[in-house]
Amino acid sequence: MTILPTFDMLLFGGTGDLVTRKLLPALYRRFVAGQVSAESRIFGVARSNLTRAAYTAQAQTACSQFLGKEFAAKQWDGFSRLLDYVSLDAGAEKDYAALAALLADREAVVRVFFFSTASNLFAVICQNLAKAKVVTPLSRVVLEKPLGHDTVSANLINEQVGAVFAEKQIYRIDHYLGKETVQNLMALRFGNALFEPLWRRGLIKHVQITVAEELGVERRGNFYDKTGAMRDMVQNHLLQLLCIMAMEPPASSDADAVRDEKLKVLRALRPLRDRDVLTKTVRGQYKAGAVRGVPVPGYLQESDIASDSSTETFVALKVDIDTWRWAGVPFYLRTGKRLQDRVTELVVTFEEVPHPIFDMPNTTHTANELVIRLQPDESITLTILAKNPGEGMRLKPVSLALDLGETFKTRSLDAYERLLMDTVKGNLTLFMRRDELDAAWAWIDPIRAGWQQYDEGPKIYIAGTWGPASSSAMLSRDGFAWHDEL
């Protein structure tokens, strides 16, 4: 384990959910692991008028709750010495003087500005940082998603941030890229020669990507009702997973070599326009039901949701990638809140044998399948047909299963631990480049426009199920089924 260069990290939105529940625990873990130098400093930056002691106490409560048994008072003592708080109104130029004073004489130290605020504040924060002259050559800015709400707004933010920070200083976060198994998917594809020849049309029938959540909108009604599943999840997490699945082998593991290949995938996505939305997309909204036997309210009854809201909490899509490798291989994407299970998995279904010489089992499992699971557990499973013991040649699907937790017997890094450390190290590989973001929005916008024009609104599904029936129907029209329906 390498000790990181000394850094100053400024967490804007410092009293918010992401900072207290994810970023501070992630930094604490890296501190406990011995990666953070004692000279490094972490500042919560927010509007509330808090003393350092009050902020540290607040952070301690959140971290101990989040970290459970991992939290140790003695270690926290050491960590909290790195913590400080700056009270600042993002729009008030004068407030930045205090920040500049704290950063004076630390130009030689890596400086990370992490914006965990609404994206409409990004521009003004950047301008004020520039005016306060605190953006040094060793500075980086980390932008939390969603970046804008469509192509035009994302462009504007990118222009405004780009006026202060060079592209190589901009870290657009998609925390899914920081998940261990996403890295493992790269290892599987590009560390083994075995799969590459199989990874194409003719051998793969279809690919499914599911990111299912049991949770509802929690306390984020205000944000979510304006955003919806398409912009909250598909535009970023699902498209990034799709890119890693579908991209060509990059020439190296350098940030730009990887990002160039992902960009090619995004640009090759066949546009879904106008009436395409009726056959290749399904949007849904949950009504009251029960998740794991616990009754939960419907979306329209959640707090801060308009009573006539037509925001989607579920999306399923059939996506075509117009390249030699993937022509004719559908990628089915699905995500939703208040579904039956919390599961994130990628399923690759291979073709059947061209000429069966044995009695094949009469199930939809006939084909070989590769299931890469990111959540709740991390595993890679390959289904093959084996001979059922005993007389005769009867075949049966069995699994070659790799449980990554069990195999490595170690806790894998939380996505934010990895990504925060990457910002300090200056490694951009797991962050989105501007052109990737542009390409993703360019593909998403026409779908949303098509919904406005041709779709009657989200289909209702009962909380605790796998979404609207039309999601299953979309696959069965092609002769397939979602993995959990097999």
378 interacts with ligand BG6 by CB under 6 A: no
CB of 90 to ligand BG6, least distance (A): 21
Q: Does 438 bind ligand BG6 (CB under 6 A)?
A: no
Query: d(Cα 368, Cα 189) in Å, to the nearest integer?
Result: 17
Q: How far is the CB of 375 from ligand BG6 (least distance, A)?
A: 6
Which residue bears the tokens 């996403």? Answer: 182
Distance CA 212, CA 180 (A): 18
The sign of the CA dihedral 443, 447, 452, 454 is positive
* 154 to 183: interface string for ligand BG6, x by CB under 6 A: ---------------------x--------
Closest CA to 366 of 389, 395, 329, 333: 395
The span from the CA of 272 to the CA of 280, in Å, is: 8
CB of 22 or CB of 111, closer to ligand BG6: 22
One DSSP character per residue, 367-436 reads S-EEEEEEESS-EEEEEEEEEPSSSS-BEEEEEEEEEHHHHH-SPPPPHHHHHHHHHHHT--TTSB-HHH
If the CB atoms of residues 155 and 375 are measured against ligand BG6, the closer one turns out to be 375
Task: Give φ, ψ of 423 to 5 degrees.
Answer: -65, -35
Q: What is the DSSP letter of 137?
A: T
Minimum Å gap between C-beta 237 and ligand BG6 is 6
Neighbours of 104 (CB within 10 A): 10
Q: Closest approach of Cβ 220 to ligand BG6, in Å?
A: 7
What sign does the CA torsion over 61, 67, 68, 73 have? negative
Nearest approach, Cβ of residue 227 and ligand BG6 (Å):
8
Please classify residue 208 by burial: count the beta carbons closer than 10 Å to its beta carbon, then call 0-12 exposed, 13-18 middle and 19+ buried: buried
Which CB, 158 or 313, lies closer to ligand BG6?
Answer: 313
Min separation Cβ 328 and ligand BG6, Å = 31
213 binds ligand BG6 (CB under 6 A): yes
Least CB distance from residue 389 to ligand BG6, whole Å? 40
Catalytic residue among 237, 355, 365, 483: 237
At 170, is the secondary structure helix, strand, or coil? strand
- In the region spanning residues 278 to 337, those forming contacts with ligand BG6, defined by CB under 6 A, are none
* Of positions 84, 232, 378, 436, contacts ligand BG6 by CB under 6 A: 232
Residue from 22, 25, 27 nearest 9 by CA:
27
- Classified as helix, coil or strand, 205 is strand
Q: Which is nearer to ligand BG6, 240 or 383 (CB)?
A: 240
Q: Which is nearer to ligand BG6, 8 or 414 (CB)?
A: 414
Decide if 237 is catalytic: yes
Nearer to ligand BG6 (CB atom), residue 30 or residue 231: 231
Of all residues in the shown chain, the one whose CB is closest to ligand BG6 is 232
Return the structure tokens found at 163: 């006026």
Cα dihedral angle (374, 376, 377, 378), rounded to 10 degrees? 10
85 versus 176: smaller Cβ distance to ligand BG6: 176
In this structure, are residues 144 and 115 in contact, taking their beta carbons and an 8 Å threshold? yes
Give the integer Cα–Cα distance in Å for 476 and 481: 6
Least separation in angstroms between residue 41's CB and ligand BG6 is: 27
Q: What is the DSSP string of 46-101?
A: ESS---HHHHHHHHHHHHHHHHGGG--HHHHHHHHTTEEEEE--TT-GGGHHHHHH
Q: Which token pair is 482?
A: 């979602």
Would you say 213 or 312 has its CB closer to ligand BG6? Answer: 213
Considering the complex, what minimum distance in angstroms separates the CB of residue 77 from ligand BG6? 29
Q: Which is nearer to ligand BG6, 147 or 371 (CB)?
A: 147
- The catalytic residues are 237
Q: Which positions touch ligand BG6 (CB under 6 A)?
A: 175, 213, 232, 375
